Amino acid sequence: MSQFTDICRINVKGGDGGAGCMSFRREAFVPKGGPDGGDGGRGGDVWIQASAQLSSLIDYRYKHHFRAERGTHGRGGRKDGKAGEDLVLKVPMGTVVRELDPESQEPLFEIADLTHDGERVIVAPGGAGGLGNTHFVTSVRRAPAFAQLGEPAEEHWIELEMKLMADAALVGLPSVGKSSLIARMSAARPKIADYPFTTLVPNLGMVRAGEYSYVVADVPGLIEGASEGRGLGHQFLRHIERTALIMHVVDITGGFEGRDPVEDYRVINEELRAYAQDLADRPQIVVANKCDVSGMEERVAELKRAALDDGHAFFAVSAVTGAGMKTLMLECGKLVAELRAELAHDDAPVVYDERWERRRQAREKRFRVFQEEPGAFRVEGTQVERLVVQTDWENEEAIVYLQRRFARMGVDAALEKAGCRAGDEVRITGRAFTFEGADEFDGPVDEDIGVAAADIDDSSDSCIDDSVVEDNGTGAHSDEDESRR
């Protein structure tokens, strides 16, 4: 049996950033030296890229952890560290990328839907390189004896879900002849037998009829209750979502059980509607198969009447003898061409790397403050935690700089607003501080910093305030501000 892997969960991590260098020029015959530490190199990013050369996610079935290259450290002489190489993970076109909850492993939100060849998105950005001591020079701090450490990249789990890219999908109950139809319409050679569920994985076939060419997918048989998880075909219902046209195949003979074809037709349509209302509204062609069996005229007429009443085109064919197949294939090609033309204006690739990056940066700037226990508060936020991680805690100058950054970001003010008082403990990542109160700060604050202060009377994480601290966009502190500190 062919391998078909359509959902994988992988762990991705960008490269760690390199540390900045603390260095000073010391040259002969140079009367004045100065800081010349280079910056650390940025870690490599992990990308997910759609490729037309792949047809499944089999590459991620057994390997689940992927890491990009880390950046190297900066050096003296203003020599910056080398950036880490990006890691590009290729997936089939039609792959949906989702962020997973780290605890429950349930999808949180959709990162990207990669439907075009070459379309890609960053799923694990590399850590920022630490700044060398040349960046911390001011009019009053002429020789900064500290530099930033590199930022460790975040590690997280994502889900890759492949949905077949087909123009039309053959759906219906088991053993109605879908595999026989795709074998007759195309060069596909799926397993065909006279028992239910012979198709265990979707099959794709390229159809050429007259001036038209299109891709047809043979989806494993559905049964009543498939939308709720019954049977084998329920796990492939999502693949129908991408198809422009549904070819609803009905066994006009009723199979070994002698079922009513009209009832079978109703059952499958109800399952499509229960799974997603959009599928019920999708253009549909009703195909009555096995019409070469004698005595089926009345049944064909009843099914045709039901299909036409629902506004669907109807075709009576035989996959075995080929009767009616040419007309069916031409009509499908015509409908697919029309649907393609309607969707052409929406067919441009989406630039996910820019959109996703903007959303990520906006999330990183937000932080929240809440009380963990009496006299102890916690601050959470990507940018705040990054500063703590990049600080050299053995260097007093670096700690003073961190305090200054917190004041600019509004962390001290948010702590006071949440009820934190002098002497209380403040926790950020794995570090604990004693709060000394918010100093008056007249300089510019950072841009688009979202603050959420939790109610100190409620130990839960519910927020009572959402505010945005304004910024003048300079992102720098003046000499007067520095000397005043």
We report the CATH number of the domain holding residue 114 as 2.70.210.12
pLDDT, tens only, 27-73:
777 777 789 999 999 999 999 998 877 767 888 988 999 999 999 99
pLDDT confidence tier of residue 186, bands split at 50, 70 and 90: confident
Amino acid 237: pLDDT: 66
Domain identity same for 143 and 207: no
Say how far apart CA 403 and CA 394 lie, in whole Å. Answer: 15
Together in a domain, 184 and 282: yes
pLDDT band at 464 (very low <50, low <70, confident <90, very high): very low
Residue 232 pLDDT > 80: no
Which domain CATH number covers 411? 3.30.300.350
Residues 433 and 378 in one domain: yes
Point out the least confidently predicted range of 79-83, 173-177, 341-345. 341-345
Q: Cα(430)–Cα(91) distance, rounded to whole angstroms?
A: 37
Q: 143 and 268, same structural domain?
A: no
pLDDT digits (tens, 9 = 90+) for 372-405: 889 899 999 888 888 888 888 888 888 888 888 8
Residue 180 belongs to some domain of the structure: yes
Last residue of a domain, one of 147, 162, 177: 162
3-state class (DSSP) for residue 261: helix
Element (H, E) at 9: strand 7-13
Q: Can you tell me the distance from the alpha carbon of 157 to that of 107, in angstroms, rounded to the nearest whole number?
A: 10
Please give the DSSP secondary-structure letter assigned to residue 23: -
CB 153 within 8 A of CB 68: yes
Give how many domains the chain has, as a whole number.
3
Q: Can you tell me the distance from the alpha carbon of 301 to that of 433, in angstroms, rounded to the nearest whole number?
A: 81
Are the C-beta atoms of 39 and 239 separated by less than 8 Å? no
Choose the final residue of a domain: 138, 162, 186.
162
Segment 453-468 mean pLDDT: 35
CB 5 within 8 A of CB 56: yes
Q: Are residues 219 and 120 in the same domain?
A: no
CA–CA separation, 418 and 368 (whole Å): 10
479 and 342 in one domain?
no
- The domain of 410 spans 366-484
**2, part of any domain:** no
Instruction: Please tell me whether residues 327 and 396 are part of one structural domain.
Output: no
pTM value is 0.60
